[in-house]
Structure 1
Amino acid sequence: MTDAGRPGNWAELTGWIAAATAAHGGPLTPDLLCALVQRRLAADGVVLVVMINNGTVTTHSAGVTGSRLAEAELTVGQGPLTSAWSTSRPVLVPDLTAEVVATEWPLLALGPGLVGVAAVFAFPMVIGAVRLGALGVYRRFPGELAPAARADAVLFTRIAMDLLISETAVLTSPRIHQATGMVAVQLGTDVSTAFASLRARAFADGRALGDLADDVVARTVRFTELEMDPGQPETGGESS
């Protein structure tokens, strides 16, 4: 998706992130992005859980709350992040009572994972049919995310995906350029969206982008409309 197609607050948020990253004195990393989400949304904890198709799970977090909750979810295999990832839909729970936890995630309720958390908002990292993980925002006090904060959370999720699937291989590489053109034809979309879909699938499959491009060119891998990049994570369909 081009900047012209982004929501109105995209330029403002990316400008804020760029300034904050420059002030930090280093590159934007997943851990730093979590810290910026925590600051921007006044959260008590933020976690980014990356789940890819080869079974690898990695976490990045800001605040002890985020890392504790991610560890609890990975231990029992259920929770708001897992639900957001598995359904490709946001899980927004502004008032996280013991009854809600017991009903939605009974195994998580047996442990101390959600102790001290009163609100949780989990956003899936999804590009078409490819699910990369989820971004979770936690607060110690109940309350809805304000519309502007929710919009920022959605954009932060998109930025997290862009950061995760970034590749050193460039579009001008002949085989990647050819594969991208073929994917664009298969999806019936523009080259930018096709390249994002190609990168996302390579990341999710734990493969080098060039190797996947070779398979596309050899016609052993074909993309369908289900792979198409929707441009940003889904914002509707909240669950509790």
Structure 2
Amino acid sequence: MTNRSAVLARLASLVAAAPRDQSLAVRLCAACVTILGADGGAITLASTRPERLTVSTSDGTSARIEDLQDVLGEGPGQQAFREGRAVVTHVDGDHGGPFPMFTEMAGDIAGPVTVWAIPMHPGGTTIGVITLYRVAGALTEGLDDAQFLADAVGAALLDDRMTAGMAPFATWSDRARVHQATGMIVAQLAITPDDALAILRAHAYASSGTLDAIAREVVDRRLTFTHTDHGVSHDAAASDDSTGSGGR
């Protein structure tokens, strides 16, 4: 990926194209698997706490890997959540390393694989982990892009009163503007309002801005989504940051 605009455009395209009867978490998980070239993945919230919840798995292997970490209380996802950093684990028959029980039992489940656990911390606090596995080779994108995507997905899953740790809406006009922008994205992408709001949240994270600021760009038509022969693209000149990290 060359910039954040490309990341978010691909994410929007895949969410818009997925079956409408799937939950947002399921579609976001599937999008991460596709964008990063993994064989499977899962999204888990509060990964080391009693209220730990796996909200989506892309396949049976991913589900069993998450169940294994839950039962053992160890694994890359657990460490990624505690330390707030990406953790890469090779399951290749060597049962040593930091997760000996997990490595041995994951090998029985999936055979030789590499597991990436990437924390979602769009507002600075880790809210969960995206865990991906691949049988052969690395992810198609680097860890920096994977981390950005994970944080964008985390922002999309946040409660709509707050985006990336930002304060709630200051006025009713802010809320009205967000509703208007959401409606415009619904019309442009033919997706549900919840999905459109998730896309707004992801853009707010990417630009280190507020939800209202991104909504204003949509309403003013400085940020628009369009269908192309290759999926969904957007003109985001006012909010794209292709060279930096958006202050994060």
Please state which band the TM-score falls in when normalised by the shorter chain.
0.5 to 0.7
Aligned to 1:172: 170
Q: 2:61 aligns with which of 57, 60, 65?
A: 65
Residues 183-219 of structure 1: CA deviation (Å, up to 9, x unaligned): xxxxxxxxx96979xxxxxxxxxxxxxxxxxxxxxxx
SS in 1 for 2:96: helix
Note if contact 2:61-2:110 (Cα within 8 Å) is conserved in structure 1: no
Aligned to 1:152: 145
Aligned to 2:195: none
Aligned to 1:40: 35
| Structure 1 gap segments, 5+ residues each | 1-6, 178-191, 197-229, 234-240
SS in 1 for 2:105: coil
Take 2:92 and 2:14, find their aligned partners in 1: how far apart are those partners? Answer: 35
SS in 2 for 1:103: coil
SS in 2 for 1:89: coil
Residues 149-193 of structure 1: CA deviation (Å, up to 9, x unaligned): 43432222012210221325751358x99xxxxxxxxxxxxxx96
Take 2:47 and 2:247, find their aligned partners in 1: how far apart are those partners? Answer: 19
Note if contact 2:37-2:139 (Cα within 8 Å) is conserved in structure 1: no
| Structure 2 gap segments, 5+ residues each | 163-167, 176-206, 212-244
Specify the code of the residue in structure 1 equivalent to 2:53.
Answer: T
- The alpha carbon displacement at 1:79 in A equals 0.3
Aligned to 2:127: 132
What do you get for the CA RMSD once the two structures are aligned?
3.4
Paired-residue identity, %: 21
TM-score normalised over the length of structure 2: 0.58
- The alpha carbon displacement at 1:44 in A equals 1.2
Note if contact 1:30-1:163 (Cα within 8 Å) is conserved in structure 2: no
Residues 113-144 of structure 1: CA deviation (Å, up to 9, x unaligned): 65324111111122566221211110112x33
TM-score normalised over the length of structure 1: 0.60
Distance 1:103 1:88, change over 3 A: same
Larger relative contact order (CA 8 Å, sep ≥ 6)? 1
